A and B are shown apart, each in its own frame.
Chain A
Amino acid sequence: MDVVIVGSGPSAAAVALALQHMPDVAITILDLGGQLEQERVVARTAMAESRPQQWNQADLQLLSAPPKSAAPGKIPTKQIYGSNFPFENLGQLDDIDAAELANDLVVSGAYGGFSNTWGAQVMPYSTGTFRDWPITRQELEPHYRQILTQIPYSAESDDLEEVFPLMGRPDRLPKVTARTSAVLNRYERHRIAVRRHGVTAGHARLALRGSSCELCGLCMTGCPYELIYTASQTFDDLRAHGRVNYHSGLKVYRVEEDDSGAVAVHATEVATGRTVTFRADRVFLGAGAIGTTRIVAGSLGLTDRKIDLVESVQFMMPLLSLRPMRELTQDGEFTLNQFNLFVTFDSDGRDAALIHCYPYNDIMLNSLPAFLMKPPIEPITSAGLRRLTVGLGYLPSWDSPFVELEVGPQPLNEGALPSVRVTSRPNEATGPALQRVIRRLRRTGRPLDLHPIPGQTKLSAAAKSYHYGGTFAMSRQGPGEFTSDTLGRVGPWRNVHLVDGSVFPTVPATTFTLTVMANAHRIATRALEGA
């Protein structure tokens, strides 16, 4: 059987992982395949071959350039190894724009997709989430477990297990910072007082090879040892074993399935502009929710209309502790998310918010206006930073602003995709939902010594969370114009499966990518079983 997978991000990787042991399946990957610049690869390789103490300063400077914020207080667009390559336009961003502040960097052309620059959080969705889904967590659990055995996974046993079981045997997390230890120790001591407010604290769960961590502090600008999972690692491995046939430099623009069920995938060679066609018995579309939506809209004539997107909106919440950290440094630390605050409003974890808490790292310092780090203000700023934790939180999609994709007319040129404009309008539930989260955390401020700074919690712009989808939500009613069946099949298609966030009925506030991978793994496994 010939199978084509479109894309090389987490959902595509999960499909490949599901199919790799099926001997009769020939797997072809079609990808734009943007890569980290060669000089940075060379520098990274040199650094990976030595200990941090032996690093060449020029290599370090090149790879750890911090991202710049568009404005003071704004979250900068994350760079990785000093590069912007996950966001670079290789043609996938042509004719995509965004209204006002909404994010327009919504499709990645990179090998590995946005997993090159993700926060590496891996928790399953809560059981309650699946009340709105046509599948249960029980059905997804074997796939969560499969994925977690095939990617790096570090976690600790703690209270978050109640709602988010570990589902496997994780590696230990690296040593956490003094701030994280202090908060989690206080949680242990004041657990009941904190939980009375529906708040649970626990360690981060990360797609990270924790036991190999050198604690160099560079997680947020790119691990020189590549200990943080990216989907490209899966494809590197499968390519090295000759298990997949990988084609880069291709922009897929149309998919067609004929009456016999044979599928043709049409793509443009980015370098030459020529169009090429691949034929397959089954196709899995994993180009990211908006990338996939665009391909489907162009293929099925769903143009000149608005399509609803569901997003779990992100917010930034600075938190202050009364007790300061001893020194302001990221050396000797790992700087990914270290602990989570889970705020729930029901017993099965559906109606909830999750805040990933980051201890001090140099990006925080660099995002401040320069005058704050000069005398006479510098001591005050330093005192504040030594007490600062930055929370990146999420609200569930039903409490988040509404996001729409305005899909333009069917393009006249062969090889083009319909235009897409990302627009957003307010949801009256958002403000109250955010306020009730803040209220809960205010009440747990004293027991945890972690106080939200009043008035400083800010929502990010539309589509900035990268936790979005739902354009072709899976439905018990089966495929429709804007719904898919539980195998991600839309409209007339029987052998074309959408496998990324585009098929999510909702996007809860909890971590996104592991469920994208588990669901893609489930769809691929079931689809091939059926075949």
Chain B
Amino acid sequence: MGSPRIAITGATGYLGSILVQHMSQYGQVVALTRSRPVDETLEWRHFELDEPIEASSLADVDILIHAAWVLSGKDTGELWQQNVVGSRRLVEAASVAGVGRIIFISSMSAYFGTRQTYGLMKLAVERTVLDMGGIVIRPGLVYGDSPGGMAGTLRTLSKLPIWPRFASAKLFLVHDGDIGPAMAAVIDDYDRMSSETIGFANPTPLDLSSILTGLSLTRRRRPSVPTPARPIIAVLRVLEGAGVPMPFRSDSLLGLIEAATTLPGENLMAQQHIAFRALDESVPRPSR
């Protein structure tokens, strides 16, 4: 049997590009993205989350990893249409096209009871994927040598002389180097993990100060001040409503202060001898 053809949506995003890098060693990667990736050696097919996918784009695909997500838009109704309805349409098209293994990249924000818009949308897609026998992956906060997304924002924040301290925020984290082997293990054991939700993260959640310390280049803990998150969220919402571009969305802040408390699928990963390193062991040392 030849190597599997692995279609990855969102292949040019932070997590998507990590997956492309690792999955290229595992099979033949097909990038499903809006525009052609910079790496011209990568097989590419045009895909937009808010448009129906061409059946031919999935006809020869063995594995679909759906990592695409639209983070910003005019309003939540539009984001819902793009992300939730679009994702549902994609996984149904994959099922009809005979794609045998469907993996949805969700988020640790997607736990039942979340109030976060992002988490609620991911949760809505999860149900469809699980009911179709797919696998849901909830990565923790992804970091690495050059973190993007939320970890990148937090590294920038770590440069502040004084850090904010929010009540009861503890997050699960995953090093980007651990994602590839874990994904390979999930693909290898797909049938057993079918319809399961699996967290990709170290099982010990960390508070914000520990995360900022670990992500900072100096690895030195700085003084922090108790910060009332809710008034800040309210102000951010007002500014967002007025169309003011913000470096940090109110919804992301909500995700920091109200986070999942359990890591799903920990046993399944342990049975596969997959471990996720702790932040302290993996943080980059200052190179100069």
Which residues of A are in contact with B by a Cβ distance under 8 Å?
Answer: 127, 137-138, 159, 161-163, 165, 188-189, 191-192, 195-196, 198, 346-349
Taking a contact as CB atoms under 8 Å apart, the answer to whether B117 and A348 are in contact is no
> When A and B form their complex, what is the total count of cross-chain residue pairs whose Cβ atoms lie within 8 Å?
36
Residues from chain B with a CB closer than 8 A to the CB of A162 are 88, 124, 127-128
Taking a contact as CB atoms under 8 Å apart, the answer to whether B117 and A137 are in contact is no
Partner pick for B115 among A127, A189, A196, CB 8 A cutoff: A196
**Please, how many angstroms separate the alpha-carbon atoms of A189 and B123 in the complex?**
19
Residues from chain A with a CB closer than 8 A to the CB of B88 are 161-162
Output the least CB separation between B259 and chain A (Å): 16
**Please, how many angstroms separate the alpha-carbon atoms of A9 and B120 in the complex?**
40
Q: Say if the beta carbon of B130 comes within 8 Å of chain A.
A: yes
Taking a contact as CB atoms under 8 Å apart, the answer to whether B120 and A347 are in contact is no
> Given A189-B77, A191-B76 in contact, is the A346-B130 Cβ separation under 8 Å?
no
18 further A-B contacts with Cβ under 8 Å, apart from A161-B88, A162-B128, A165-B128, are: A137-B131, A138-B133, A159-B124, A161-B128, A162-B88, A165-B131, A189-B77, A191-B77, A191-B80, A192-B117, A195-B120, A196-B120, A346-B112, A347-B123, A347-B126, A347-B127, A348-B127, A349-B127
**Please, how many angstroms separate the alpha-carbon atoms of A328 and B123 in the complex?**
40
Mark interface residues in B113-157 (1 if CB within 8 Å of A CB, else 0). Answer: 101010010011011101101000000000000000000000000
**Please, how many angstroms separate the alpha-carbon atoms of A414 and B89 in the complex?**
60
For this complex, 13 residue pairs linking A to B, each with C-beta atoms less than 8 Å apart, are A127-B127, A161-B88, A162-B88, A165-B128, A191-B77, A191-B80, A192-B117, A195-B120, A195-B124, A347-B123, A347-B127, A348-B130, A349-B127
Residues from chain B with a CB closer than 8 A to the CB of A196 are 115, 120
Taking a contact as CB atoms under 8 Å apart, the answer to whether B77 and A188 are in contact is yes
Which residues of B are in contact with A by a Cβ distance under 8 Å?
Answer: 76-77, 80, 88, 112-113, 115, 117, 120, 123-124, 126-128, 130-131, 133
Taking a contact as CB atoms under 8 Å apart, the answer to whether A347 and B115 are in contact is no
Output the least CB separation between A158 and chain B (Å): 10
**Please, how many angstroms separate the alpha-carbon atoms of A191 and B88 in the complex?**
17
Residues from chain A with a CB closer than 8 A to the CB of B80 are 191
Taking a contact as CB atoms under 8 Å apart, the answer to whether A192 and B120 are in contact is yes
Residues from chain B with a CB closer than 8 A to the CB of A165 are 128, 131
**Please, how many angstroms separate the alpha-carbon atoms of A192 and B124 in the complex?**
11
Report, nearest first, the 8 A-B pairs whose CB atoms are least far apart. Answer: A347-B112, A162-B127, A196-B115, A192-B117, A127-B131, A192-B76, A195-B120, A162-B124
**Please, how many angstroms separate the alpha-carbon atoms of A196 and B111 in the complex?**
11
Residues from chain A with a CB closer than 8 A to the CB of B127 are 127, 162-163, 347-349
Output the least CB separation between A137 and chain B (Å): 7
**Please, how many angstroms separate the alpha-carbon atoms of A478 and B110 in the complex?**
38
**Please, how many angstroms separate the alpha-carbon atoms of A192 and B123 in the complex?**
12
**Please, how many angstroms separate the alpha-carbon atoms of A518 and B113 in the complex?**
32
Output the least CB separation between A347 and chain B (Å): 4
Give the interface centre of B113, B123, B127, B130 by most chain A CB atoms within 10 Å: B127
Residues from chain B with a CB closer than 8 A to the CB of A349 are 127
**Please, how many angstroms separate the alpha-carbon atoms of A348 and B136 in the complex?**
14
Residues from chain B with a CB closer than 8 A to the CB of A163 are 127
Taking a contact as CB atoms under 8 Å apart, the answer to whether B128 and A127 are in contact is no
Closest to B113 in A: A198
**Please, how many angstroms separate the alpha-carbon atoms of A346 and B123 in the complex?**
11
**Please, how many angstroms separate the alpha-carbon atoms of A159 and B130 in the complex?**
16
**Please, how many angstroms separate the alpha-carbon atoms of A161 and B126 in the complex?**
12
Residues from chain A with a CB closer than 8 A to the CB of B77 are 188-189, 191
**Please, how many angstroms separate the alpha-carbon atoms of A195 and B122 in the complex?**
13
Closest to B76 in A: A192
Residues from chain A with a CB closer than 8 A to the CB of B76 are 191-192
Taking a contact as CB atoms under 8 Å apart, the answer to whether A127 and B124 are in contact is no
Output the least CB separation between A323 and chain B (Å): 20
Output the least CB separation between A186 and chain B (Å): 12
Taking a contact as CB atoms under 8 Å apart, the answer to whether A127 and B112 are in contact is no
Closest to B112 in A: A347
Output the least CB separation between B54 and chain A (Å): 21
Residues from chain B with a CB closer than 8 A to the CB of A137 are 131
**Please, how many angstroms separate the alpha-carbon atoms of A195 and B117 in the complex?**
9
Residues from chain A with a CB closer than 8 A to the CB of B131 are 127, 137, 165
Residues from chain B with a CB closer than 8 A to the CB of A195 are 120, 124
Output the least CB separation between A199 and chain B (Å): 12
Output the least CB separation between A379 and chain B (Å): 38
Closest to A195 in B: B120
**Please, how many angstroms separate the alpha-carbon atoms of A490 and B113 in the complex?**
41
Output the least CB separation between A59 and chain B (Å): 46
Closest to A127 in B: B131
Output the least CB separation between A126 and chain B (Å): 9
**Please, how many angstroms separate the alpha-carbon atoms of A192 and B120 in the complex?**
7
Closest to B133 in A: A138
Give the interface centre of A137, A192, A195, A348 by most chain B CB atoms within 10 Å: A192
Closest to B80 in A: A191
**Please, how many angstroms separate the alpha-carbon atoms of A138 and B131 in the complex?**
8
Closest to A162 in B: B127
Output the least CB separation between A305 and chain B (Å): 40
**Please, how many angstroms separate the alpha-carbon atoms of A64 and B216 in the complex?**
75
Partner pick for A127 among B113, B123, B130, CB 8 A cutoff: B130
**Please, how many angstroms separate the alpha-carbon atoms of A198 and B77 in the complex?**
18
**Please, how many angstroms separate the alpha-carbon atoms of A127 and B123 in the complex?**
15
Output the least CB separation between A166 and chain B (Å): 10
**Please, how many angstroms separate the alpha-carbon atoms of A191 and B80 in the complex?**
9
**Please, how many angstroms separate the alpha-carbon atoms of A328 and B96 in the complex?**
46
Closest to A191 in B: B80
Closest to A347 in B: B112
Residues from chain A with a CB closer than 8 A to the CB of B126 are 347
Output the least CB separation between A155 and chain B (Å): 15
Residues from chain A with a CB closer than 8 A to the CB of B112 are 346-347
